[in-house]
Each structure stands twice: as structure tokens, then as C-alpha cells.
Amino acid sequence: MKAGWTTADIPAQRARVAVVSGATGGIGLAVARELARAGATVVLAARDEVRGAAAVAAIRAAVPAADVAVARLDLASLAAVRAFAARFAGEHEGPDILVNCAGVMAVKHAVTQDGFEMQFGTNHLGHFALTGLLIGGMLGRADARVVTVSSLNHRRGRIDFDDLQAQASYDPWKAYGQAKLANLLFAFELDRRLRAAHASVASLGAHPGYSDTALQSRIGNPVVRRFFTTLNRVLAQSADAGALPELYAATAPGVPGGTYIGPDGRGEVRGQPAVAFASGAARDPGLAARLWTVSEELTGVVYPPLDGAFA
């Protein structure tokens, strides 16, 4: 891994198509902008199309020749996920890069349109469904990559199969940790399945360390929200810096599937892209396989054979 890797090291991405969820601000916007700067056609998957249009304008202001467009994607609605995938399939052969970046953090208790706890439903199940619906179009594409964004908080997570939707009790940070652990379990299990099928697609995980984004401003508890607002000014790195691990995972040559990338500084809070620490739970193949089965049951999205042959 090259020391001091920056966006200047991103290889040319011309003729490649990228889908980035959560691309209307923060990490996702920075990822989308830099992929566009490198020549990729970038689809900004956004819940709010007005904010999506503003993000497109911001990218074009920075990269006048950017080939970018916005398409509506609400990860809290499986119907909306299916609609996005169908629209994308009608406009593109398939993505070369999928960055699962959107998410919510420590919000007040709420449920998705399908009745899932909001953090688990949006951060994990929405991306699980999205990837499953798009990955058929990725098979056979050279060096295709799925990058799923986790968090340092995955280390505190536990998958509570007895109460996945937090119906018995709800703690916003416990739910967030569960969702971020689920993201990483998914990234690693998808890679195991892709490797077993000798597929051309690699699945990787990434995390942005502690970065100053709008995510903290949406924390449900106002006291905690104010605390993070203050902490951001002292400790957080910029969203552009936080996007580097995701960009490295999506574009750096020769990065093997199953790699988890984060900042290289103390505690992985900030720094340059490097191999990050994944908890023992995140690396547990039995836990990942069980979560995969449950995720297919909950979403109704069953992945195609990953060798490219469809049943």
C-alpha cells in the first residue's frame, strides 16, 4: 500500500460507471466528485432529488466535464430500492463500482416503510437489497468493486437475532453499532461468495474515521448532537479526508477483496488510507452466513449465482 495516498493517485476511471449512495453531502459527495474527476460516469443515488440536483451542480462546479446524474433512491423503502435498480438497468449495462455510503446514525426510534428499525433497515438491509439487485450487472466486468462503508462503531456492535428490529427495547447507539457491524459482515460474506464463484467482482469494506459530516447533526438526542458539533471542530478531519479510504477501496490497483480500509492514524480516527482493524465478530463467517440468510428473508432479495450464470 502506497504511503500518503491521495486523490491524485486515483487511476483513470474513463468508461467506468459508478453508483454512490448518500452522495448529496459529506463522504458520499466527496467520493462521487473524485470518481467523476477521474473520468467515471457517476450516478448519485439520493433520497432527496432536490439535494441531489444541488450535489450535481456542486460537482460540475468543481469538475466542469463531470459526467454525473442523480437518481432517486430511498434505502428505507424496498420498493424504492427496486425502482432505482430497475431504472439503472434500463440506462446502463451495469456498474463497475458500487459505493454503499448512505446511512443514519443514532436517530430517534423510527421504522422504515417496510417496518424495519430505521438504522438496521437503512444502513444494512437497504444496501443489501441494492447490491443484490445490481450485482448481476457487475458480473464479468473487469475489476468491478462493491465498497460498503462501516464505522469504528462496528467494534461495539452485536447482532441481536432475537430482537433485530429493537422492538423489545431501543438504544440508538446499540442500534447503530449493530447496523455498522452488519455492514462489515455483509462486505466480508459477499467477498467470500464472490471468491468461491471466481467472480470478477471484489467486495471491500471501508470507514472514514472520525470525519466532519452532516451525519452527526442528525443524531436524535439534542445534548449528544451539540456535543458532537463541538467535538467536530476539535477532532474531526474533513469529509474530503474521510472519503480517501472509500476511494482507495474503490479504485486503488490490486486491492484484494475482503480488505477493510480506514485512516492510518492513532485509533484510526484520521489519516491516510491503510488496512483497518475489523473485530472478531465482523470476521465470523458463521455469524455472517446467518445474517445473510435473514437479510434475504427480510428483503425478499435473493442474490443470483455469482459466477454470472442465472437460474
Catalytic positions, written as ranges: 176
List 237's β-bridge partners, or say none.
Answer: 211
Residue 132 CA to residue 160 CA, distance in Å, equals 23
Contacts of residue 39, Cβ cutoff 8 Å, sequence gap at least 6: 12, 13, 14, 15, 16
- Angle 209-212-218 (CA atoms, 0-180°, nearest 5)? 105
Closest CA to 260 of 162, 161, 151: 151
Buried b (16+ CB within 10 A) or exposed e, 198-209: ebbbbbbbbbbb
